Structure 1
Amino acid sequence: MSKVPTTVITGFLGAGKTTLIRHLLQNAKGKRLALIINEFGDVGVDGELVKGCNDEACPEDDIVELANGCICCTVADDFLPTMQKLLDRENPPEHIIIETSGLALPKPLVKAFQWPDIRTRATVDGVVALIDADAVAAGRFAHDEAALAAARAADPNLDHDSPLEELFEEQLACADMVVLNKTDLVDAATLAAVRQQVEAETRPGVGIVNANHGAVDIAALLGITAAAEDDLDSRKSHMDGAEEHDHDDFDSFVLNGGEVADVDALVSKLGEVIAAHDVLRIKGMVAVAGKPSRLVIQAVGPRVQHFFDRAWKPGEARKTGLVVIGQKGLDQAAIEAGLRGVVG
């Protein structure tokens, strides 16, 4: 029996992984897919956004959410049993897609495919690293010492000896394909500079494609046939030889509330809170008074995007839930106080 190909989609917080997966599902061309989604935070935002976008390609029963911690740290407890259940099905998927947490290291996950119960039945078709071109251009992951010094001077409370740059390196070093996403937010010269930086962090032969809103041809991402689990030595990691990996350098919490009366006021306040507290990511669902559909909030750094998703289901509680993620020391009390005026 041939192995079930599996694609690992990695990328830092807010790079657009869920949007990319939605695009893949909507353009599956009859391929039967299964999804394993791992989030940092307690609200299944990504799973909710994916469910129902293409029932034929990936029914809700084939979407599995792992919320007990970052997938690279819970391989044995969460990931392996989940993979076994998918592979044991009478009609197993033709291709499995794994969306990792934005803080995950891909190499431990790839290494798990060497486990005896998995290696004869599934293979890592490819590791796809999604990069937010605008965030990289803004220096969020820069190695430029002058740029980091300038950022430190602008905000003396910001910890620039953080794992952000290391995570960026880890995800690129393990990649078989890199997607430069959100290219519509940068000009040609800036995009060329970002591409040069990415090329410096990737292995020889790794493909790089540009994308807006995660729109990449499914044929470019599925069918790479990398068998990455057999090629671990070429995928260098800061964690090689380490016993474990944790995310103690990051904090997250969930802000729950009721209906929001004014969307513009909410977006404005989110921007203020993000700037004041150096929040890395805010995402979630918002109930808007008088509106039949859920409002999705996707904030990455200073950018706050929002759009109406599906209608609230009959009997479904109309409530707001926002996941807030930042580096260690995030002032939860101050952030909650700043948003309580607009979140019911």
Structure 2
Amino acid sequence: MTDFSKLPVTVITGFLGSGKTTLIRELMQNPGGKRLAVVVNEFGDVGVDGDILKSCAIPDCPAENIVELANGCICCTVADDFIPTIEALMALEPRPDHIVIETSGLALPKPLLKAFDWPDIRSQITVDGVIALADAEAVVAGRFASNVAAVDAQRLADDSIDHDTPLSEVFEDQIACADIVLLTKPDLAGADGVAQAKAIIARTAPRPLPAIEVAEGVVDPRVILGLEAAAEDDLDARPSHHDTPHDHDHEEFDSIVVDIPELADPADLVRAIEILANRHNILRIKGYAAVSGRPMRLLVQAVGARVRHQFDRAWRPDEARQGRLVVIAEHGDIRRDVIEAALGLAPQAAQ
């Protein structure tokens, strides 16, 4: 059983756009009687997810319990960011019953677990569990290279192709570190797709893992909180492609921030993002925009060419109606001039 003097922490991991923020938003609204605190680790300089969650704050998870770290992977900034953040949350009155950490979609979870061995906090907190989210449809499509035996064979046969697959390694590391896998967007995958995704995860995982369908982040909090996994003491059972220190490298991915003008029609931005993703291997775009004549801010979330958008809140009187997007791609695939042109921010068309 868990040492009840330790504050339990749940790590929510998963690839870009798998639904982590949606899940945490639902947990905040339905915390199962627990007072939550949330740490959001963004990739890129614009904090989108933290702002989304703060707009959903409730008494059991007030805005002051939601902390955003957007200046690097928290497992790489332990002393400067992670430890002070955890200590500040533990010092809150009333103290949280449970801390939830949303990692960046590009994060490797195992180095984060190792950070819980830091002397200043290891006697005060425990990793209650690691929850990995996986987009069922994308898993079946092989986008994370979790079932890439045939693809790897083809690559090995062609010396002109880069055999390294960093996205697959991130996905496999997340599954290997998990205590439970949540298969999101099951409606897009269908029953057969969900079954295939579960089979792929079973083959990928180093040990048997429960895989549960979750739509729109709705899950009974008893299923994912209170696992008592003490994951920080169980690292050997959670193998990683990046167990050696020099392998933990975020240089495989780049991000840039682009400001976008006020839109006349959100559909124009959606079409531009779809074209950009299809032509230039963009992994993820997220941010917000202003729409002419609308008092509400438009939230934009894109995974590849799949774009979702909705009005999330009113623009505040003290903020400029300035749109801003974070664009994430593998290293070498980001060119600011091409991205700005594709989004209509430069006079020439993207090539």
Q: Which runs of 5+ in 2 are unaligned?
A: none
Whether 1:230 and 2:233 are equivalent positions in the alignment is yes
Indicate how the Cα distance of structure 1 residues 158 and 67 shifts in structure 2: closer, same or farther if over 3 A, else same: farther
CA distance in 2, matches of 1:52, 1:268: 28
Residue 209, structure 1, aligned to residue 212, structure 2:
yes
> Residue 107 of structure 1 contacts residue 237 of structure 1 at CA under 8 Å; is this kept in 2?
yes
Deviations along 1:120-179, one digit per CA (max 9) or x if unpaired, are: 211000000010111112221233344568899xxxx99662300100111011101110
Q: Decide which of 93, 114, 121 is 2:96's aligned counterpart.
A: 93
Secondary structure, aligned partner of 1:233: helix
For the pair 1:137 / 2:140, whether they are aligned, the reply is: yes
Contact 1:255-1:322 within 8 A present in 2 as well: yes
Q: Do structure 1's residue 335 and structure 2's residue 339 form an aligned pair?
A: yes
AA partner of residue 267 (structure 1): V
Structure 1 counterpart of 2:291? 288
CA distance in 2, matches of 1:239, 1:315: 44
Q: 2:268 is aligned with what amino acid?
A: A
CA distance in 1, matches of 2:151, 2:190: 20
CA displacement 1:35-77 (0-9 Å, x = unmatched): 1100001110000111131321211111111111112222232
Letter in 2 for 1:308: F
**Matched position secondary structure for 1:72:** helix
The Cα shift of 1:322 comes to 0.5
2:65 counterpart of 1:48: no
Tell which deviates more after alignment, 107-116 or 216-225: 107-116
Aligned to 2:248: 245
Q: CA deviation at 1:341?
A: 5.2
Contact 1:269 1:338 in 2 (8 A): yes
**How far off is 1:188 after superposition?**
1.6
Give yes or no for the alignment of 1:106 onto 2:133. Answer: no
Equivalent residue pairs, number: 341
Question: What's the secondary structure of 1:307's corresponding residue?
Answer: strand
CA distance in 2, matches of 1:159, 1:190: 29
Q: Which runs of 5+ in 1 are unaligned?
A: none
| Between 235-244 and 296-305, the greater mean CA deviation after superposition | 235-244
Q: Is the 8 A contact 2:176 2:238 kept in 1?
A: yes
Contact 1:265 1:342 in 2 (8 A): no
CA distance in structure 1 between the aligned counterparts of 2:161 and 2:28, rounded to whole angstroms:
39
Give me the whole-angstrom Cα distance separating, in 2, the residues matched to 1:19 and 1:75. 26
Instruction: Indicate how the Cα distance of structure 1 residues 285 and 42 shifts in structure 2: closer, same or farther if over 3 A, else same.
Output: same
Partner of 2:87: 84
Query: Which runs of structure 1 show a deviation greater than 6 angstroms over 4 or more consecutive aligned residues?
Result: 148-152
2-side partners of 1:341 and 1:251: how far apart?
20
Secondary structure of residue in 2 paired with 1:118: coil
What code does the residue aligned with 1:20 have?
A: L
TM-score for the superposition, normalised by structure 2: 0.91
Q: Which amino acid aligns with 1:128?
A: I
What is the CA-CA distance between 1:90 and the residue it aligns to? 4.0
Structure 1 length as normaliser, TM-score? Answer: 0.93
The correspondence of residues 1-344 of structure 1 with structure 2, limited to 5 A, is 2-142=5-145, 143-147=147-151, 161-243=164-246, 245-329=248-332, 330-340=334-344
